[in-house]
Amino acid sequence: MVSARPSVVVLDYGSGNIHSAAKALEAAGADVEISADRGRVRDADGLLVPGVGAFGAVMAALKSVRGDELIDRRLAGGRPVLGICVGMQVMFERGDERGLLTEGLGEWPGTVTELDAPVLPHMGWNTVDAPSQSRLFEGLHDERFYFVHSYAARDWSLEVTNPKIPAPAVTWAEHGGRFVAAVENGPLSATQFHPEKSGEAGLRLLSNWLRTL
């Protein structure tokens, strides 16, 4: 008998929030495994890419387990991936941390830079502005989510010119100025905030993602 629960692999490359992310996914309704095994990553219904710390350190750790290749191959096959916090940031072309540029995964154009805010890090609960077509935020448009970061993508420049391809759903938040809080772009979704630290709202968001698998 096939399990009704989708299978999700949390990519194991040494990220600090890996176990809390796995527990939240289980609570949201997934069968979860923590692994960097190529076959398990390939075959899972969904792949979660966690991330805390510096952009450069996360990219180096991902490459150490060939995570960049694993993510790219899943996306090339239309297989769902969810990035969280720095796991979202590395989906962009590059990160700029105090003048140190690090190449990202390049799934989206743009550079992750320091927030222009009087208080950093941006830490705590904040509202988001999600588009009406968002599937991640279905039923969650008035909720708050938990952020811990000093860097973010502050612009969105990906343009979709093919009318047969849906435009990405980009969610924004404000801290000093606006920044990208979440993206839904085909098989690739990501949040700058931490769903696993966002209480009931975070679990419902993860459940919404699981339903897309």
Closest C-alpha to 70, from 5, 6, 12: 12
The verdict on whether omega for the bond into residue 195 sits within 30 degrees of 0, i.e. cis, is: no
Confidence (pLDDT) at 3:
58
Residue 194 annotated among the catalytic residues of the structure:
yes
What's the CA gap between 89 and 20, in Å, rounded? 19
Residue 149 annotated among the catalytic residues of the structure:
no
65 bridge partner residues: none
What's the CA gap between 185 and 160, in Å, rounded? 10
What's the CA gap between 12 and 19, in Å, rounded? 10
Confidence (pLDDT) at 1:
44
CATH of domain 7-212: 3.40.50.880
Task: Split the chain (213 residues) into runs of 10 and give each run's mean pLDDT.
Answer: 82 90 98 97 97 95 97 97 98 95 97 97 98 96 96 93 86 98 98 98 98 96
Buried b (16+ CB within 10 A) or exposed e, 3-34: eeebebbbbbbbbebbeebbebbeebebebee
Helix (H) or strand (E) holding 203: helix 199-212
Which alpha helices (DSSP H) does 29-173 contain, by range?
Answer: 38-43, 55-64, 67-76, 86-89
- Selecting among 26, 93, 196, 200, the annotated active-site residue is 196
- DSSP for 157-168, written as a single string: ------TTSPPP
Please report the beta strands in 74-153, taking only residues with DSSP state E, as ranges in sequence order. Answer: 81-84, 92-97, 100-103, 108-114, 122-127, 144-149, 151-153
Phi (first) and psi of residue 93, to 5 degrees: -65, -40
Residue 196 annotated among the catalytic residues of the structure:
yes
Q: Is the Cβ–Cβ distance between 184 and 134 less than 8 Å?
A: yes
Confidence (pLDDT) at 17:
76
Confidence (pLDDT) at 174:
98
Confidence (pLDDT) at 137:
98
- Selecting among 26, 159, 194, 200, the annotated active-site residue is 194
- Selecting among 85, 93, 143, 184, the annotated active-site residue is 85
